[in-house]
A and B are shown apart, each in its own frame.
Chain A
Amino acid sequence: MWKLKLAGLSETEQALIRSIVRLSKDLESSWQVVDQGACDVVLCGTHGPAMVMPGVLRIRVAEPGEHSTEHMHDVLERPIRAERLIRLLCQSAAALTQGRASSTPSSTPSISSPVVAETPAPRAMHGSLHQVASIGRWPPQVVLAKNREFIRLAVVLARASLSVTELSRLSGVPMETCISFLDALEERSLVRWGGAEDAIPPPPSHLQESTEHRHFGSGLLGSIRRALGI
Protein backbone atom coordinates (compact mmCIF):
# COMPACT_ATOMS: atom_id res chain seq x y z
CA MET A 1 0.00 0.00 0.00
CA TRP A 2 1.47 3.37 -1.07
CA LYS A 3 0.93 6.43 1.09
CA LEU A 4 0.03 9.78 -0.35
CA LYS A 5 0.33 12.97 1.69
CA LEU A 6 -1.34 16.25 0.69
CA ALA A 7 0.31 19.59 1.48
CA GLY A 8 -0.56 23.20 0.75
CA LEU A 9 -3.81 22.36 -1.03
CA SER A 10 -7.27 23.86 -0.50
CA GLU A 11 -9.99 21.92 1.34
CA THR A 12 -11.86 21.41 -1.91
CA GLU A 13 -8.84 20.03 -3.71
CA GLN A 14 -8.04 17.72 -0.82
CA ALA A 15 -11.58 16.37 -0.84
CA LEU A 16 -11.45 15.88 -4.59
CA ILE A 17 -8.18 13.98 -4.44
CA ARG A 18 -9.39 11.79 -1.58
CA SER A 19 -12.45 10.78 -3.49
CA ILE A 20 -10.59 10.13 -6.72
CA VAL A 21 -8.23 7.80 -4.86
CA ARG A 22 -11.09 6.10 -3.03
CA LEU A 23 -13.24 5.63 -6.11
CA SER A 24 -10.70 4.74 -8.72
CA LYS A 25 -10.53 1.06 -9.54
CA ASP A 26 -6.94 1.55 -10.61
CA LEU A 27 -5.92 3.02 -7.27
CA GLU A 28 -8.20 1.86 -4.46
CA SER A 29 -6.26 -1.26 -3.58
CA SER A 30 -2.83 0.31 -3.68
CA TRP A 31 -3.10 3.89 -2.46
CA GLN A 32 -4.10 5.56 0.78
CA VAL A 33 -4.24 9.24 1.59
CA VAL A 34 -2.52 9.90 4.94
CA ASP A 35 -2.46 13.03 7.11
CA GLN A 36 0.71 12.38 9.03
CA GLY A 37 3.66 10.05 9.36
CA ALA A 38 5.81 8.59 6.64
CA CYS A 39 4.65 8.73 3.05
CA ASP A 40 5.79 7.71 -0.42
CA VAL A 41 4.48 10.63 -2.41
CA VAL A 42 3.72 14.22 -1.48
CA LEU A 43 1.19 16.08 -3.55
CA CYS A 44 1.80 19.74 -2.85
CA GLY A 45 0.43 23.12 -3.85
CA THR A 46 2.34 26.35 -4.21
CA HIS A 47 2.97 26.53 -0.47
CA GLY A 48 3.92 22.92 -0.05
CA PRO A 49 7.32 21.85 1.29
CA ALA A 50 10.31 22.75 -0.84
CA MET A 51 12.13 19.64 0.31
CA VAL A 52 10.98 16.13 0.93
CA MET A 53 12.61 13.12 2.58
CA PRO A 54 14.98 11.12 0.37
CA GLY A 55 13.11 8.38 -1.43
CA VAL A 56 9.86 10.35 -1.33
CA LEU A 57 8.41 11.58 -4.61
CA ARG A 58 6.97 15.03 -4.96
CA ILE A 59 4.20 15.99 -7.36
CA ARG A 60 3.39 19.66 -7.67
CA VAL A 61 -0.12 20.91 -8.29
CA ALA A 62 0.16 23.99 -10.49
CA GLU A 63 -1.73 26.41 -12.67
CA PRO A 64 -1.48 25.68 -16.40
CA GLY A 65 1.70 27.21 -17.79
CA GLU A 66 3.15 27.82 -14.34
CA HIS A 67 5.35 24.73 -14.49
CA SER A 68 7.28 25.55 -17.61
CA THR A 69 10.63 24.90 -15.97
CA GLU A 70 9.63 21.62 -14.43
CA HIS A 71 9.24 18.15 -15.82
CA MET A 72 5.70 17.76 -17.04
CA HIS A 73 5.62 14.43 -15.35
CA ASP A 74 6.06 15.80 -11.87
CA VAL A 75 3.24 18.26 -12.27
CA LEU A 76 -0.50 17.91 -11.85
CA GLU A 77 -2.18 20.72 -13.68
CA ARG A 78 -5.21 22.60 -12.34
CA PRO A 79 -8.03 21.93 -12.61
CA ILE A 80 -7.26 18.51 -11.21
CA ARG A 81 -8.46 15.75 -13.52
CA ALA A 82 -8.97 12.19 -12.37
CA GLU A 83 -7.25 10.50 -15.30
CA ARG A 84 -4.18 12.63 -14.98
CA LEU A 85 -3.91 12.06 -11.22
CA ILE A 86 -4.38 8.31 -11.66
CA ARG A 87 -1.76 8.24 -14.36
CA LEU A 88 0.74 10.12 -12.19
CA LEU A 89 0.15 7.87 -9.22
CA CYS A 90 0.54 4.74 -11.33
CA GLN A 91 3.78 6.08 -12.70
CA SER A 92 4.93 6.96 -9.20
CA ALA A 93 4.17 3.48 -7.94
CA ALA A 94 6.19 1.98 -10.75
CA ALA A 95 9.05 4.41 -10.15
CA LEU A 96 9.07 3.62 -6.44
CA THR A 97 9.04 -0.11 -7.07
CA GLN A 98 11.90 0.24 -9.50
CA GLY A 99 13.82 2.63 -7.29
CA ARG A 100 13.55 0.38 -4.23
CA ALA A 101 14.32 -2.77 -6.14
CA SER A 102 17.45 -1.20 -7.54
CA SER A 103 20.68 -1.44 -5.58
CA THR A 104 20.97 2.27 -4.86
CA PRO A 105 18.39 2.95 -2.21
CA SER A 106 19.79 6.40 -1.50
CA SER A 107 18.89 7.76 -4.90
CA THR A 108 15.55 9.42 -5.11
CA PRO A 109 13.47 8.02 -7.88
CA SER A 110 11.97 10.59 -10.16
CA ILE A 111 8.82 10.14 -12.14
CA SER A 112 10.44 11.50 -15.21
CA SER A 113 13.55 9.38 -14.98
CA PRO A 114 14.06 6.80 -17.72
CA VAL A 115 12.96 4.11 -15.30
CA VAL A 116 9.57 5.69 -15.11
CA ALA A 117 9.35 6.06 -18.79
CA GLU A 118 8.95 2.29 -18.73
CA THR A 119 5.68 2.64 -16.90
CA PRO A 120 2.81 2.19 -19.26
CA ALA A 121 0.06 4.72 -18.99
CA PRO A 122 -3.22 3.34 -17.63
CA ARG A 123 -4.44 2.32 -21.02
CA ALA A 124 -1.34 0.55 -22.26
CA MET A 125 -1.21 -1.05 -18.82
CA HIS A 126 -3.74 -3.55 -20.07
CA GLY A 127 -0.76 -4.99 -21.79
CA SER A 128 2.05 -5.03 -19.29
CA LEU A 129 5.66 -4.40 -20.15
CA HIS A 130 6.08 -8.02 -21.04
CA GLN A 131 2.91 -8.57 -22.96
CA VAL A 132 3.26 -8.62 -26.68
CA ALA A 133 1.54 -6.09 -28.91
CA SER A 134 0.67 -6.63 -32.54
CA ILE A 135 -1.15 -4.74 -35.25
CA GLY A 136 -3.20 -6.10 -38.12
CA ARG A 137 -3.00 -3.13 -40.44
CA TRP A 138 -0.99 -0.03 -41.14
CA PRO A 139 -2.23 2.57 -38.62
CA PRO A 140 -4.57 5.27 -39.91
CA GLN A 141 -3.12 8.65 -40.82
CA VAL A 142 -4.85 10.30 -37.86
CA VAL A 143 -2.61 8.27 -35.56
CA LEU A 144 0.58 8.74 -37.55
CA ALA A 145 0.03 12.41 -38.37
CA LYS A 146 3.42 12.66 -40.07
CA ASN A 147 5.08 11.86 -36.73
CA ARG A 148 8.39 10.27 -37.72
CA GLU A 149 8.77 8.28 -34.51
CA PHE A 150 5.27 6.87 -34.76
CA ILE A 151 5.93 5.90 -38.38
CA ARG A 152 9.12 4.20 -37.30
CA LEU A 153 7.24 2.27 -34.60
CA ALA A 154 4.55 1.23 -37.04
CA VAL A 155 7.23 -0.01 -39.46
CA VAL A 156 8.64 -2.28 -36.76
CA LEU A 157 5.26 -3.49 -35.48
CA ALA A 158 4.25 -4.21 -39.06
CA ARG A 159 7.01 -6.80 -39.20
CA ALA A 160 6.77 -8.34 -35.72
CA SER A 161 4.68 -8.70 -32.57
CA LEU A 162 6.69 -7.21 -29.74
CA SER A 163 6.58 -6.22 -26.08
CA VAL A 164 6.89 -2.53 -25.31
CA THR A 165 10.48 -3.00 -24.18
CA GLU A 166 11.47 -4.89 -27.32
CA LEU A 167 9.63 -2.39 -29.48
CA SER A 168 11.63 0.41 -27.94
CA ARG A 169 14.92 -1.46 -28.30
CA LEU A 170 14.39 -2.54 -31.90
CA SER A 171 13.03 0.79 -33.09
CA GLY A 172 15.41 2.99 -31.14
CA VAL A 173 12.42 5.08 -30.09
CA PRO A 174 12.14 6.07 -26.38
CA MET A 175 9.87 3.92 -24.25
CA GLU A 176 7.59 6.84 -23.48
CA THR A 177 6.89 7.46 -27.14
CA CYS A 178 6.26 3.75 -27.65
CA ILE A 179 3.65 3.90 -24.92
CA SER A 180 1.87 6.91 -26.31
CA PHE A 181 1.89 5.27 -29.73
CA LEU A 182 0.33 2.11 -28.33
CA ASP A 183 -2.15 4.25 -26.41
CA ALA A 184 -3.22 5.98 -29.59
CA LEU A 185 -3.71 2.60 -31.26
CA GLU A 186 -5.47 1.19 -28.20
CA GLU A 187 -7.89 4.09 -28.24
CA ARG A 188 -9.02 2.94 -31.67
CA SER A 189 -8.87 -0.77 -30.82
CA LEU A 190 -6.07 -1.29 -33.30
CA VAL A 191 -3.69 -3.19 -31.09
CA ARG A 192 -3.90 -6.80 -29.95
CA TRP A 193 -2.29 -7.84 -26.69
CA GLY A 194 -0.98 -11.20 -25.72
CA GLY A 195 0.60 -14.15 -27.36
CA ALA A 196 4.24 -14.83 -27.80
CA GLU A 197 6.76 -12.69 -29.61
CA ASP A 198 6.79 -13.49 -33.27
CA ALA A 199 9.38 -15.40 -35.03
CA ILE A 200 10.81 -12.46 -36.93
CA PRO A 201 10.75 -12.94 -40.68
CA PRO A 202 14.21 -13.37 -42.10
CA PRO A 203 15.92 -10.20 -43.26
CA PRO A 204 16.36 -9.73 -46.99
CA SER A 205 18.52 -12.58 -48.19
CA HIS A 206 21.52 -10.45 -49.06
CA LEU A 207 21.60 -9.13 -45.50
CA GLN A 208 21.75 -12.56 -44.00
CA GLU A 209 25.40 -13.26 -44.41
CA SER A 210 26.94 -12.32 -41.11
CA THR A 211 29.80 -10.24 -42.46
CA GLU A 212 27.32 -8.18 -44.41
CA HIS A 213 25.36 -7.80 -41.24
CA ARG A 214 28.30 -6.44 -39.37
CA HIS A 215 29.11 -4.12 -42.20
CA PHE A 216 25.56 -2.87 -42.11
CA GLY A 217 25.47 -2.38 -38.40
CA SER A 218 28.72 -0.53 -38.50
CA GLY A 219 27.53 2.34 -40.52
CA LEU A 220 25.84 1.80 -43.85
CA LEU A 221 22.54 3.16 -42.58
CA GLY A 222 24.29 6.09 -40.92
CA SER A 223 26.17 6.93 -44.07
CA ILE A 224 23.00 6.82 -46.16
CA ARG A 225 21.27 9.08 -43.66
CA ARG A 226 24.16 11.51 -43.75
CA ALA A 227 24.15 11.51 -47.55
CA LEU A 228 20.45 12.39 -47.43
CA GLY A 229 20.90 14.91 -44.65
CA ILE A 230 18.62 13.09 -42.21
Chain B
Amino acid sequence: MKEYKILFSGTPGAGKTTAIGAVSEIPPVVTDVPNTDPGYAKAYTTVGLDYGQLTLDTGDCLRLFGTPGQARFDFLWRILGRNALGLIILLDNSRPNPLADLEIYINGFGEALRSMPCVIGVGRHDQGNTALDDYGLWLMERNMILPVLPVDVRRRADVVLLIDVLLAELEFHIRKGECSHVE
Protein backbone atom coordinates (compact mmCIF):
# COMPACT_ATOMS: atom_id res chain seq x y z
CA MET B 1 0.00 0.00 0.00
CA LYS B 2 1.24 3.43 -0.91
CA GLU B 3 0.42 6.57 0.94
CA TYR B 4 -0.01 10.04 -0.43
CA LYS B 5 -0.91 13.22 1.32
CA ILE B 6 -2.48 16.56 0.67
CA LEU B 7 -1.93 19.38 3.12
CA PHE B 8 -4.43 22.05 4.16
CA SER B 9 -3.05 25.22 5.71
CA GLY B 10 -4.18 28.81 6.09
CA THR B 11 -5.85 31.32 8.36
CA PRO B 12 -7.41 30.06 11.59
CA GLY B 13 -11.14 29.94 11.07
CA ALA B 14 -10.93 29.82 7.27
CA GLY B 15 -12.10 26.22 7.33
CA LYS B 16 -9.24 23.70 7.20
CA THR B 17 -10.90 21.39 9.68
CA THR B 18 -14.25 21.79 7.90
CA ALA B 19 -12.68 21.11 4.49
CA ILE B 20 -11.02 17.90 5.63
CA GLY B 21 -14.26 16.74 7.21
CA ALA B 22 -16.08 17.43 3.94
CA VAL B 23 -14.07 14.90 1.93
CA SER B 24 -12.70 12.43 4.49
CA GLU B 25 -14.29 8.99 4.57
CA ILE B 26 -13.55 8.64 8.29
CA PRO B 27 -14.63 11.04 11.00
CA PRO B 28 -11.66 13.39 10.98
CA VAL B 29 -9.13 13.24 13.80
CA VAL B 30 -9.08 16.71 15.24
CA THR B 31 -6.70 18.33 17.72
CA ASP B 32 -8.79 21.39 18.48
CA VAL B 33 -8.51 23.08 21.85
CA PRO B 34 -10.19 26.14 23.37
CA ASN B 35 -8.87 29.31 21.73
CA THR B 36 -7.52 32.05 24.00
CA ASP B 37 -6.32 34.33 21.19
CA PRO B 38 -8.61 37.38 20.87
CA GLY B 39 -7.26 37.94 17.32
CA TYR B 40 -9.55 35.20 16.03
CA ALA B 41 -13.26 34.99 16.73
CA LYS B 42 -13.19 31.28 17.31
CA ALA B 43 -14.10 29.05 20.21
CA TYR B 44 -11.78 26.19 19.21
CA THR B 45 -8.54 26.14 17.32
CA THR B 46 -6.31 23.43 15.87
CA VAL B 47 -2.92 23.12 17.56
CA GLY B 48 -1.67 19.72 16.43
CA LEU B 49 -2.97 18.44 13.16
CA ASP B 50 -6.23 17.54 11.55
CA TYR B 51 -6.37 14.24 9.84
CA GLY B 52 -8.75 12.64 7.38
CA GLN B 53 -8.35 9.95 4.77
CA LEU B 54 -9.63 8.47 1.55
CA THR B 55 -9.04 4.89 0.48
CA LEU B 56 -8.34 4.60 -3.21
CA ASP B 57 -9.61 1.73 -5.34
CA THR B 58 -5.99 0.77 -5.93
CA GLY B 59 -5.74 -0.04 -2.23
CA ASP B 60 -3.55 3.01 -1.69
CA CYS B 61 -4.39 5.71 0.79
CA LEU B 62 -4.73 9.45 0.43
CA ARG B 63 -4.14 11.23 3.72
CA LEU B 64 -5.47 14.71 4.30
CA PHE B 65 -3.58 16.73 6.86
CA GLY B 66 -4.51 20.11 8.27
CA THR B 67 -2.00 22.33 9.99
CA PRO B 68 -2.65 24.82 12.73
CA GLY B 69 -3.04 28.21 11.07
CA GLN B 70 -1.16 30.54 13.39
CA ALA B 71 2.36 31.49 12.36
CA ARG B 72 3.78 30.31 15.66
CA PHE B 73 3.04 26.78 14.47
CA ASP B 74 5.09 27.10 11.29
CA PHE B 75 7.41 24.32 12.45
CA LEU B 76 4.52 21.95 11.83
CA TRP B 77 3.82 23.35 8.35
CA ARG B 78 7.19 22.22 7.13
CA ILE B 79 7.01 18.84 8.84
CA LEU B 80 3.55 18.11 7.50
CA GLY B 81 4.35 19.57 4.09
CA ARG B 82 7.23 17.23 3.41
CA ASN B 83 6.48 15.07 0.37
CA ALA B 84 2.92 16.28 0.09
CA LEU B 85 1.30 15.91 -3.33
CA GLY B 86 0.07 19.45 -2.95
CA LEU B 87 -0.89 22.27 -0.66
CA ILE B 88 -4.24 24.00 -0.23
CA ILE B 89 -4.06 27.40 1.46
CA LEU B 90 -7.41 28.56 2.83
CA LEU B 91 -7.98 32.25 3.53
CA ASP B 92 -10.84 34.19 5.07
CA ASN B 93 -11.75 37.25 3.02
CA SER B 94 -13.73 38.81 5.85
CA ARG B 95 -10.60 39.28 7.94
CA PRO B 96 -9.16 42.80 8.29
CA ASN B 97 -6.23 42.16 5.94
CA PRO B 98 -6.42 38.84 4.13
CA LEU B 99 -3.44 39.71 1.90
CA ALA B 100 -1.25 40.03 4.99
CA ASP B 101 -2.62 36.62 5.98
CA LEU B 102 -1.62 35.24 2.58
CA GLU B 103 1.88 36.58 3.06
CA ILE B 104 2.30 34.51 6.22
CA TYR B 105 1.80 31.28 4.29
CA ILE B 106 3.73 32.35 1.21
CA ASN B 107 6.70 33.09 3.45
CA GLY B 108 6.14 30.12 5.70
CA PHE B 109 6.14 27.58 2.89
CA GLY B 110 8.80 29.51 0.99
CA GLU B 111 10.75 27.75 -1.72
CA ALA B 112 8.56 24.66 -1.50
CA LEU B 113 5.90 26.60 -3.43
CA ARG B 114 8.12 26.80 -6.51
CA SER B 115 7.66 23.13 -7.14
CA MET B 116 4.85 21.85 -4.92
CA PRO B 117 1.41 22.15 -6.51
CA CYS B 118 -0.51 24.78 -4.56
CA VAL B 119 -3.94 26.38 -4.72
CA ILE B 120 -5.44 29.21 -2.71
CA GLY B 121 -9.07 28.95 -1.64
CA VAL B 122 -10.70 32.18 -0.53
CA GLY B 123 -13.65 31.77 1.80
CA ARG B 124 -16.33 34.30 2.70
CA HIS B 125 -15.42 36.00 -0.59
CA ASP B 126 -18.66 37.95 -0.55
CA GLN B 127 -17.51 39.71 2.61
CA GLY B 128 -14.65 42.09 3.28
CA ASN B 129 -13.00 44.70 1.10
CA THR B 130 -10.56 42.56 -0.82
CA ALA B 131 -11.53 41.58 -4.35
CA LEU B 132 -10.69 38.07 -5.45
CA ASP B 133 -8.51 39.40 -8.24
CA ASP B 134 -6.42 41.32 -5.72
CA TYR B 135 -4.88 38.03 -4.61
CA GLY B 136 -3.58 37.30 -8.11
CA LEU B 137 -2.25 40.85 -8.43
CA TRP B 138 -0.58 40.66 -5.03
CA LEU B 139 1.16 37.44 -6.07
CA MET B 140 2.12 38.92 -9.43
CA GLU B 141 3.98 41.71 -7.64
CA ARG B 142 6.02 38.94 -6.06
CA ASN B 143 6.52 37.16 -9.35
CA MET B 144 4.27 34.29 -8.47
CA ILE B 145 1.25 32.81 -10.15
CA LEU B 146 -0.87 30.55 -7.99
CA PRO B 147 -4.45 29.46 -8.60
CA VAL B 148 -6.93 31.50 -6.56
CA LEU B 149 -10.50 30.23 -6.30
CA PRO B 150 -13.52 31.44 -4.36
CA VAL B 151 -14.76 28.64 -2.13
CA ASP B 152 -17.19 27.80 0.59
CA VAL B 153 -15.59 24.78 2.23
CA ARG B 154 -18.88 23.83 3.80
CA ARG B 155 -19.76 22.65 0.31
CA ARG B 156 -18.03 19.41 -0.55
CA ALA B 157 -17.96 20.29 -4.25
CA ASP B 158 -15.82 23.33 -3.54
CA VAL B 159 -13.28 21.27 -1.60
CA VAL B 160 -13.24 18.71 -4.40
CA LEU B 161 -12.55 21.50 -6.90
CA LEU B 162 -9.52 22.62 -4.88
CA ILE B 163 -8.13 19.09 -4.90
CA ASP B 164 -8.93 18.77 -8.60
CA VAL B 165 -6.80 21.82 -9.30
CA LEU B 166 -3.87 20.19 -7.51
CA LEU B 167 -4.42 17.04 -9.56
CA ALA B 168 -4.47 19.09 -12.78
CA GLU B 169 -1.08 20.46 -11.93
CA LEU B 170 0.31 17.05 -11.09
CA GLU B 171 -1.06 15.74 -14.35
CA PHE B 172 0.74 18.50 -16.20
CA HIS B 173 4.03 17.50 -14.57
CA ILE B 174 3.42 13.87 -15.43
CA ARG B 175 2.55 14.57 -19.06
CA LYS B 176 5.54 16.84 -19.38
CA GLY B 177 7.71 14.13 -17.87
CA GLU B 178 6.36 11.55 -20.29
CA CYS B 179 7.39 13.56 -23.29
CA SER B 180 10.85 14.43 -22.04
CA HIS B 181 11.84 10.82 -21.53
CA VAL B 182 9.58 8.86 -23.84
CA GLU B 183 9.37 5.25 -22.87
Contacts and interface: CB of A to CB of B under 8 A. Distances in A.
A158 B147 contact: yes
Contact of A227 (B2, B57, B140): B57
Interface in B167-183: 167-179, 181, 183
B145 interface: yes
B145 A170 contact: no
B58 A137 contact: no
B163 A224 contact: yes
B62 interface: yes
Contacts of A37: none
A207 B160 contact: no
A229 B159 CA distance: 12
A130 interface: no
B168 A227 contact: no
B117 interface: yes
A170 B164 CA distance: 15
A213 B146 CA distance: 23
**Chain B binding surface, main DSSP class:** helix
A171 B175 CA distance: 8
A138 B148 contact: yes
Contacts of A139: 136
A138 B146 contact: yes
Nearest to A140: B133
Given A155-B169, A227-B54, A227-B62, A138 B135 contact: yes
Nearest to B140: A137
A223 B57 contact: yes
Interface stretch (A21-29, A69-77, A197-205): A197-205
Contact of A136 (B145, B169, B172, B175): B145
A200 B176 contact: yes
In the complex, which range does the number of interface residues on chain A fall in?
35 or more
Contact of B114 (A135, A137, A201, A228): A201
Contact of B168 (A141, A152, A220): A152
Contacts of A154: 147
Contacts, number: 130
A133 to B, nearest CB: 13
A207 B147 contact: no
B23 A203 contact: no
Contacts of A217: 174, 177-178
B170 A158 contact: no
B56 interface: yes
B85 interface: yes
B115 A138 contact: no
Given A137-B136, A220-B4, A158 B150 contact: no
21 contacts: A138-B139, A138-B145, A139-B136, A141-B133, A141-B150, A151-B168, A154-B147, A156-B172, A158-B145, A158-B146, A169-B179, A201-B114, A203-B115, A214-B183, A221-B167, A221-B174, A223-B57, A224-B167, A226-B56, A226-B57, A227-B54
Interface of B: 2, 4, 23, 54-58, 60, 62, 83, 85, 114-117, 132-133, 135-137, 139-140, 145-150, 160-161, 163-165, 167-179, 181, 183
The 10 A-B residue pairs with the shortest CB-CB distance in the complex, in nearest-first order = A138-B136, A203-B173, A137-B140, A158-B145, A223-B56, A140-B133, A227-B54, A152-B168, A223-B58, A137-B136
